[in-house]
Every structure is written in structure tokens, then in C-alpha cells.
Amino acid sequence: MDTVKAVLWGFLGIRRQADYQRDIARLNPIHLMVVGVLMALAFVGILILIVNWVAG
């Protein structure tokens, strides 16, 4: 769950320096990348669904 929170804050682009440093020390970079890619794909998929719904 901490990995998901860190990725969501990264998507928003706002993060306190202390929290960022704590995440670097505790979280696995591979997990961050996997969760980031999955969340980006989910975001694009949701956008495509919204556009198809509005345009259809």
C-alpha cells in the first residue's frame, strides 16, 4: 500500500522531502516501477473509456 501511495503522489508531482527520503529508504524500486506502469496503463484505459462514452 505504501508503494501505491508513493506512486500516486509521484503522479501528482507533490511530495514532502522527508516523505520522499523515507520512501527511497523503505521501498523497492522494482515494485515502484511495476506499480507505476500498471497505474499509467489503467489511467490511459480510463481516459479511452471516457472518450468513447462521450463521443458515442
Identify the DSSP state of 14: -
Residues 6+ apart with CB under 8 A from 31: 3
User: How many domains does one find in the chain?
Assistant: 1
Residue 41's domain comprises: 2-55
Residues 6+ apart with CB under 8 A from 27: 2, 3, 6
User: What's the predicted TM-score (pTM) here?
Assistant: 0.81
How much is the pLDDT for 55?
Answer: 96
CA distance 31 to 44: 20
Cβ-contact 33, 1 below 8 angstroms = no
pLDDT tens track for 28-47: 999 999 999 999 999 999 99
pLDDT tens track for 4-24: 999 998 888 888 889 889 988
